[in-house]
Structure 1
Amino acid sequence: MKPTAVTAAFATAAPPAQSGKGYNLEEIEQKLAKGAGISGVHKADLPTPSLLLDLDSLEFNINRAADHAKKYGIDLRPHAKTHKTPEIAKLQIAAGAVGVSCATIREAEVLTDAGVGGLLITSELVGPNKIARLLRLARRAPDVMAVVDNPIHAEQLSEAATAANVKLNILIDIDPTGRRSGIAPGPAAVELGKKVDSLPGLELWGVHGYSGASSHVVGFEARKEHSTQYMTPVIDSFQQMAKAGAPARIMSGGSTGTYNIDCHLDGMNELQMGSYIVMDVDYRRIGGASGEVYTDFKPALTVLATVVNKNYDDIATVDSGIKSFATDRTCGPEPLLDGVTYSINGDEHGRLHLENAKVAVNFGDKVELIVPHCDPNVNLYERIYVCRGDNVVEVWKVGARGNI
């Protein structure tokens, strides 16, 4: 396996981190248990595998997205499905986001518990359990919004909301291309908007449209053409609703791959980009407006692993395998070691390929690897170790992981 251009773009020539002498487990655990205000813990002191978050890169990404939204006069409601962590959502809102988007009712419940407002749940909540939880959530957070993509669901929500004396805020979910969820753009979508506007217990706010197929199109110009082609009919339907007298105020969508494309589409007034906050290998490979590597945002999320076998010159084994990484992408984790590549080697093991390594890798070394797909990778871990440089400064619970 040879290092790719993408690997070289964000690999470092620095040697792997090693923990110092005199390791005191009890002292380190006591410091980490504080959760905040941590000092005296090097990231090499952590157990492995661990999920690390580089605070400098996180802050850069938050500010970069916020500045972009302000520049183009568009609202930002970033997707919390990426990080599932209240602390990060609060940082995004403090930087100017109008709220955050959620993929599940659990994410919305956890964020509400933490005092995060302005929530948009972008997946249909179907069935008695989820509808009841939505009603309960709406009593606590009256500004929460949900999506609908068919008349039957709209009627069910209306009946439940009316019986509970609750008002539900609704966006029409319009499908640009994926045929996963959402109603097709055009007259049927407009009629659904008018129907929601007429139903008791529901208040129409606009349209949600996510062109997931556009987000990872390789090459900026090809991605621009794809997103423009598929989002334009969605936006047209949104504008037709308004012309028909329905109160269509929010046109929400977009992604990390298309944030600097969709902001130029007339009628788009809210971006839901999510992965930008920590980035991953897959997004880095789609290319940016200025090159083959997407560098608009910095990789902030890594898995820390330990070299547990170095009995061969050309390979090393680390203690991070299938259970440590989301493996739904064709690309794998990328080690932060110049010239080194990685492959899965079992549930608990991974292999470092050292044929082209520019640094020495030794038994016991700590190695960081950028994750392939950030959203499901975060979901694998209970906590994130937040680092400023090499020092652990906070520990954040991934509060909304799982799907209960």
Structure 2
Amino acid sequence: MKQEWKELDTPTLLLDKEILLKNICSMSDFANRENVNLRPHIKTHKSVEIAKLQLEHGAIGITTAKLEEAEVMAAAGITDILVAYPVSSPIKVERILSLLNQGVDLKVTVDNLEQVKLLQKALEKTDHTLEVWIKVNSGLNRCGVEPGEEAVGLAKAIILLSRLRIGGIFTHAGHSYGARGEEELERIALAEAAAVVRSAEACENAGIPILVRSVGSTPTYRISGLVEGITEVRPGNAVFFDSIQVGLGVADRSECALTVLASVVGVYEGRIVLDTGSKTLCLDKGAHGLESVKGYGYVLDYPELTIERLSEEHGVAVFKGSCSLRLNDKVRIIPNHACTVANMFDEYVLVEGEYVVDKWKVDARGMRR
């Protein structure tokens, strides 16, 4: 007999399989239609099963945030991996060499001369060459060289090194998560693409070919991915979507594949308490803050509720007037930020309609090194 998800203990991470597949196909359809490659970021789901689904539906490889994620995916047989994070420490460089020894087609982020010299020195002790991608800053002001001449300067230094080869130029417009409206989002997306294309063209004018010109960010990829000269997109959150994406106008709630199943553990005047605190839903309203994101998650079917505050194990949801929920009732919550919430659980419980159909591990949970 099939188990209904309403019978599960809480809190539990539910993943709607039908919506998940629609979101995966939507990314692939965009890439196919616009003739760009798709390299989804797996830091959102951290799941081997989901990564393999994305590859089956046309992704050419994956993007990871950290080396540990890359190691987990490589151990599962996924070999075309971009580590979208600058790596320089000796311990991590040794782990890069280990992945190369395993036959992984690894691409590593670089954004400064000292870093590339350290990589070169380590590789000189081996038979390997390493593909590196230059990261440019497109407005987030986090990592990355400035577009244009700084990118060219680093590229010129790399081509003089015997064990490194330039595979591409990329950026991440993470500040798009703070966009106030469609006009600002479009401006950020076009600037994102321009930073990459301008840097790649400047390199090629200097005689340095750049084969891959890659952009990312779920809010922007459907705009920046249309710009002439861009060859690849790297959306991550689009596999699930969440309340932040809904607040940005990028997705509808019906496209949110991930929910947290919670139980009512207390009913009081003007408030209820759920068994989902900060260790479940996370204290996240977006890295840049959005006025459209209210509370700490959206309670499906109960729009009168606002999850106003979280302690570690308690979620306090307030309401005006009346609420029909009673002790031990269960609700589904769309998290504000799916990426951080997924990292709090060991497994996804896959559901179709009212029923549980499978369980998948969050394989790279906690992999942050």
Which bracket does the TM-score occupy, shorter chain normalised?
A: over 0.9
The change in CA–CA distance for 1:256 and 1:86 in structure 2 (over 3 A counts) is same
The change in CA–CA distance for 1:345 and 1:80 in structure 2 (over 3 A counts) is closer
Q: Aligned partners of 2:329, 2:255: CA distance in 1, in Å?
A: 24
1:117 aligns with 2:73: no
Deviation at 1:326, TM superposition (A): 2.1
Secondary structure of the residue that 2:219 maps to in structure 1? coil
The change in CA–CA distance for 1:356 and 1:247 in structure 2 (over 3 A counts) is farther
Mean alpha-carbon deviation: is it higher for 51-60 or for 206-215? 206-215
Contact 1:79 1:100 in 2 (8 A): yes
Aligned length: 359
Secondary structure of the residue that 2:363 maps to in structure 1? coil
1:362 to 290, 302, 326: 326
The answer for the alignment partner of 1:350 in structure 2 is 315
Residue identity opposite 2:318 in structure 1: H
The change in CA–CA distance for 1:215 and 1:317 in structure 2 (over 3 A counts) is closer
Residue identity opposite 2:260 in structure 1: V
1:341 aligns with 2:297: no
Secondary structure of the residue that 1:144 maps to in structure 2? strand
Q: Aligned partners of 1:59, 1:91: CA distance in 2, in Å?
A: 8
Contact 1:205 1:248 in 2 (8 A): yes
Mean alpha-carbon deviation: is it higher for 295-304 or for 143-152? 295-304
Deviation at 1:356, TM superposition (A): 5.7
The answer for the alignment partner of 2:233 in structure 1 is 271
Residue identity opposite 1:341 in structure 2: T
The answer for the alignment partner of 2:67 in structure 1 is 105
Q: Aligned partners of 2:310, 2:114: CA distance in 1, in Å?
A: 48
Q: Aligned partners of 1:230, 1:277: CA distance in 2, in Å?
A: 21
Secondary structure of the residue that 2:105 maps to in structure 1? coil
The change in CA–CA distance for 1:296 and 1:263 in structure 2 (over 3 A counts) is farther
Deviation at 1:176, TM superposition (A): 1.1
Q: 1:174-210: CA deviations, max 9, x gaps?
A: 1112221111112121121122122111121110211
Contact 2:192 2:224 in 1 (8 A): no
Residue identity opposite 1:323 in structure 2: K
1:71 aligns with 2:33: yes
1:303 aligns with 2:260: yes
Residue identity opposite 1:117 in structure 2: T
Deviation at 1:162, TM superposition (A): 1.9
Q: Aligned partners of 1:172, 1:369: CA distance in 2, in Å?
A: 39
Contact 2:271 2:316 in 1 (8 A): yes
The change in CA–CA distance for 1:356 and 1:194 in structure 2 (over 3 A counts) is farther
Contact 1:64 1:297 in 2 (8 A): no
Contact 1:276 1:297 in 2 (8 A): no
What's the C-alpha RMSD, in Å, of the aligned pairs?
Answer: 1.7
Q: 1:26-57: CA deviations, max 9, x gaps?
A: xxxxxxxxxxxxx6222122221111111111
Q: Aligned partners of 2:139, 2:79: CA distance in 1, in Å?
A: 30
Contact 1:187 1:237 in 2 (8 A): yes
Runs of 4+ in 1 over 3 A off after TM superposition: none
1:395 aligns with 2:352: no
The answer for the alignment partner of 1:257 in structure 2 is 219
Contact 2:193 2:225 in 1 (8 A): no
The answer for the alignment partner of 2:151 in structure 1 is 189
Q: Percent identity?
A: 32
Gaps of 5+ in 2: none
2:108 to 125, 141, 146: 146
Q: Aligned partners of 2:3, 2:321: CA distance in 1, in Å?
A: 32
Q: Aligned partners of 2:113, 2:253: CA distance in 1, in Å?
A: 40
Q: Aligned partners of 1:221, 1:145: CA distance in 2, in Å?
A: 34
Deviation at 1:71, TM superposition (A): 0.7
Residue identity opposite 2:115 in structure 1: H
Q: What is the TM-score when the length of structure 2 is the normalising length?
A: 0.93
Q: 1:214-269: CA deviations, max 9, x gaps?
A: 24413222211122134313321112212322231001112110121102212111
The change in CA–CA distance for 1:164 and 1:145 in structure 2 (over 3 A counts) is same
Q: Aligned partners of 2:359, 2:321: CA distance in 1, in Å?
A: 35
